[in-house]
Chains A and B, each alone.
Chain A
C-alpha cells in the first residue's frame, strides 16, 4: 500500500556508529558526497535557472 504510514525503526547510537564504520557505508558516503559536492560546485558558479532577467518573479507564476 503506497499510502501506509512509515514507521522509523528505533536505532541506538551504538548501532548507528556501527553502520557508519561499515565498508558498505564508506563506499556509499565517498560516492554520494562526491556527487553532492559536484552539484554544489555547479551552483556556486552562480547559474540559477530561476534568475530574473525580465523583472518577472519566475518562482511565483501561479
Chain B
C-alpha cells in the first residue's frame, strides 16, 4: 500500500547526496515526491522532457530499442531516472555533498 511506497522513498532518501525523489506519470503528473510541490513539478517537467527526447532519439536510431535508464550529471547535481511505459522514478542527487 501507500505506506510501503513511503517507506521505500524514505530508504532511498537516506543514501548520501540524495536531495529528492519524484514519482512521475508518463504525462508529467507528480504522483508522489519528497520535495515541495513547486520544486517537484519543475523537476518533473524537466525530466519528462529529457526522457521524451532521449526515447525519441534512441528509437529513431533503432526502432527495436528503448530507453531503460537515464543518468545525467551536471555541475550542480545528478539526476537518475528509472522509466517504464507509464511511470518514471526520479532521484535528484547533489554529488558534492
Residues in chain A within 8 A of chain B (CB atoms): 2, 6, 8-9, 11, 16-17, 19-21, 24-25, 28-29, 31-33, 35-37, 39-41, 43-44, 48-50, 59-60
Residue of B nearest to A22 (CB): B86
Q: Is B16 an interface residue (CB 8 A)?
A: yes
Given contact pairs A36-B12, A39-B71, a sample of 6 additional A-B residue pairs in the complex whose CB atoms are under 8 Å apart: A19-B31, A28-B86, A29-B8, A32-B84, A48-B95, A59-B75
A59 to B15: give the CA distance in the assembly, Å. 22
- Using CB atoms, name the residue of chain A closest to B75: A59
A-B contact pairs, 23 of them (CB 8 A): A8-B27, A8-B28, A8-B29, A8-B41, A8-B44, A11-B29, A19-B31, A20-B2, A21-B1, A21-B2, A24-B86, A25-B86, A29-B5, A32-B82, A32-B87, A33-B82, A35-B69, A39-B80, A40-B12, A40-B80, A44-B15, A59-B75, A60-B75
